[in-house]
A and B are shown apart, each in its own frame.
Chain A
């Protein structure tokens, strides 16, 4: 089959554009406008507002970031520069030797004729520092040998081998001097290096073999320390490895803890002093610190006492201290979204503030929090317990909300494959769509508990409607005054079962064509029970939520009441009374009343009714994109309302004189459309036809034009064909749009695929193309 010249599969968009796959030069992109915000169902199944979000302003908001290593030489393996010159005896130089020593063959050789000395004066020794002395004895024949350095000697050695000793300098003598008794043999690879840099050791403590060792128990309690490690008040994560014979009395004390057995330990420590001090207790056993690592956690945050970091959370227990970060990039007057998670809260509450301005007040319920606020210029984000508070905070985020009113919507309501959602203008006449505690929602033998469960938008903001213990209809209701007579309205509401499975929506206070309007919705199985209405629907969402809607027709201009009631059974009559228990109820969110015969995407309100304007998606392609003489217009989509004159899709020359237009027709016959083919303002074809485009699912439609024939195919069938000249003059067609061809009469529905072929496909190919 031919490759289309223009193909739009909804997958990419930005402000004011819907991207087309073809042509690749971008000429096929659609121009999009709406002029207002809107919501959609995103790929996670959550309802979200279409806005841009700025970059993250909180640094290390998930507390996963860890700072650089604070400890120097924490594995005790660091060695200084070589202090011995010509330790490999490559030349007969640098050493002072008695008559019994010669240097040759790459070693110093003793002949046993005397106990004379082999020595070298080094430089850079300091009392108290530890030095590693290393050398090799080879060709051993007899006698004994040792080196002394910094005032300390070692034991005599009497065989071949490589010998390593560690000595803490007790004098400033730089003399590396041997002593021997009747020694016949060779010495090679002599090395002296400082070890244990950066550490200050108490008596009885040594650093050797990459360990810090309490090597002389007889000294009793002693210590080792490194200065300048910590900043008081900051929190650090440590990794400590200890070995040897540790007991309850012979133990390492550090980080305000006792370590009484060998092992590897990790933990968090909030510094109270700048130095790292190992208190090495006991007077019986030898034990070691093998390694110590300390890294700051929660960099970028400042903690008062009472807060600590554990497992990527900041944890508070009692007191009224704060943790804060000064954010960069906050601008007065701009809108920001704060998100964080509160968990493990067992007592008390906290505020979240920007400086002294509270943006989340008296928080005491565990869960995800999302707060939108307009900045007054304050930039210090504080988490501040207001009294005794135990709980944890994690995943802190602040981002700027960049409002945009011309963002197309790729909607995932129907499946994981998105469709381009194009809706008409609609107004939510309910002033408080989420705040059911507001006085505009009147309570008749019910109460509202705020923010009891996660809403369909993923935020902990859904209220619970709770019946009292009276025998009544238990209603939450609101009076709507803007209704007009002889109009169709649809009330929609998101609901989730609690202890009660059934929610009844009833409408009263005026007269309706349908009589006494109500509908029972079963939130346990997604069914509709008894009711009286023009139309009612229940659609399942994520997390056991349902979107319930009732449509009705007014026949007077009086006010009417929207009433929401828990019920015991789905067969309950309108406003049926029952005996409440005082605790049972269900969850509600997002009430919406529209002057339409169906519910559209959610329009949130908070104190004023609100209007989402109509989507308009037009003007794809240009004269070079299309073949005016022959081609195919193809679309896979669905209609949004059962009967409407709106809903045009066209390919045209940007006027109504040359175009193919598919337009909805107001008719008693469902899914009636007009298809018109007009050239030079003359109708070559104009018929009303029934197409399978409806509100219940997606359909495919293809219209072919050419110099020899005209065909309409849908869902794998040829609906109409005529053999005649159906072609436009060359270079006539210059745009495709979800409209009538001039930017008016917008299409409302969903589109999964739109293509234009520059070749007149055969009828067999049209059937193949449109087969579901």
Chain B
């Protein structure tokens, strides 16, 4: 089992990558074809925004670029083909496995 962090250009790109690990069964249901956990994280706050007393945004937060996705590959030792180039290794990850 390995935990890999990825940053894709956008959510659509990430979803198209994820879809390859699912099949459609005879009832039209999407069922996994591999043992993996896909954790959709979107963007992280790099700098907190500022908000007024009503909670309205005064200064927007600074967010990470791209679309963050963490994957637990339960039966792989490295990223599958087509994923390696999107791997990232942040110094202070904003997400962790409990």
Contacts and interface: CB of A to CB of B under 8 A. Distances in A.
B72 A613 contact: yes
A577 to B, nearest CB: 11
Contact of B33 (A33, A440, A744): A744
Interface in B26-66: 27, 29-33, 35, 37, 39-45, 48-49, 51, 53-55, 57, 61, 63
A425 B27 contact: no
A442 B51 contact: yes
Given A608-B95, A611-B39, A740-B31, A509 B57 contact: yes
Contact of A745 (B31, B55, B61, B98): B31
A612 interface: yes
A483 B40 CA distance: 10
B94 to A, nearest CB: 5
Nearest to B97: A36
Nearest to B93: A608
A35 B70 CA distance: 14
Interface string B61-87: 101000000101010000000000000
Contact of A36 (B33, B51, B95, B98): B98
A483 B95 CA distance: 14
Nearest to A470: B53
Nearest to B1: A35
Nearest to A603: B98
Given A440-B48, A609-B41, A509 B96 contact: no
B52 to A, nearest CB: 9
Contacts of B45: 479, 481
Contact of B55 (A33, A508, A609, A645): A508
B51 A479 contact: yes
A686 to B, nearest CB: 9
Contact of A645 (B1, B29, B51, B95): B29
What DSSP secondary structure best describes chain A's contact surface? loop
Contacts of B63: 481
A611 B70 contact: yes
A35 B61 contact: no
Contact of B37 (A483, A484, A614): A614
A645 B23 CA distance: 13
Contact of A744 (B35, B41, B53, B93): B35
Nearest to B51: A442
Which interface class (under 10, 10 to 19, 20 to 34, 35 or more) fits B? Answer: 35 or more
A482 B53 contact: no
Contact of A37 (B11, B29, B98): B98
Nearest to B33: A744
Nearest to B75: A743
B48 A484 contact: no
Contacts of A612: 98
A589 B8 CA distance: 35
Interface in B1-36: 1, 11, 27, 29-33, 35
Contact of B96 (A481, A508, A561, A610): A610
B72 A481 contact: no
Given A427-B39, A608-B93, A745 B27 contact: no
A2 interface: no
A113 B47 CA distance: 120
A740 B74 CA distance: 18
A665 B26 CA distance: 12
A108 B98 CA distance: 92
B70 to A, nearest CB: 7
Nearest to A475: B55
Taking each of A439, A442, A472, A481, which has the highest tally of chain B beta carbons within 10 Å of its own beta carbon?
A481
Contacts of A479: 45, 48-49, 51, 55, 57, 61
A611 B68 CA distance: 14
B93 A509 contact: no
A610 B53 contact: no
A83 interface: no
A75 interface: no
A35 B53 contact: no
Interface string A581-616: 000000000000001000000011000111111100
A674 interface: yes
B29 A613 contact: no
Interface in A17-64: 33, 35-38
Contacts of A744: 31-33, 35
Nearest to B63: A481
A443 to B, nearest CB: 10
Interface in A607-649: 608-614, 645
A559 interface: yes
A666 interface: yes
13 contacts: A35-B1, A425-B37, A442-B55, A444-B53, A475-B55, A477-B51, A481-B44, A482-B44, A608-B96, A611-B39, A613-B72, A645-B31, A740-B31
Interface of A: 33, 35-38, 425, 427, 431, 439-440, 442, 444-445, 472, 475, 477, 479, 481-484, 508-509, 559, 561, 563, 595, 603-604, 608-614, 645, 665-666, 674, 740, 743-745
Those 8 A-B pairs whose CB atoms lie nearest each other, nearest first: A482-B42, A610-B98, A37-B98, A645-B29, A612-B98, A36-B97, A561-B55, A36-B98
Given A37-B98, A425-B37, 18 more contacts: A35-B37, A427-B39, A427-B41, A442-B51, A477-B55, A479-B45, A479-B48, A479-B57, A481-B42, A482-B43, A563-B55, A603-B98, A604-B98, A611-B39, A611-B97, A645-B29, A665-B27, A666-B29
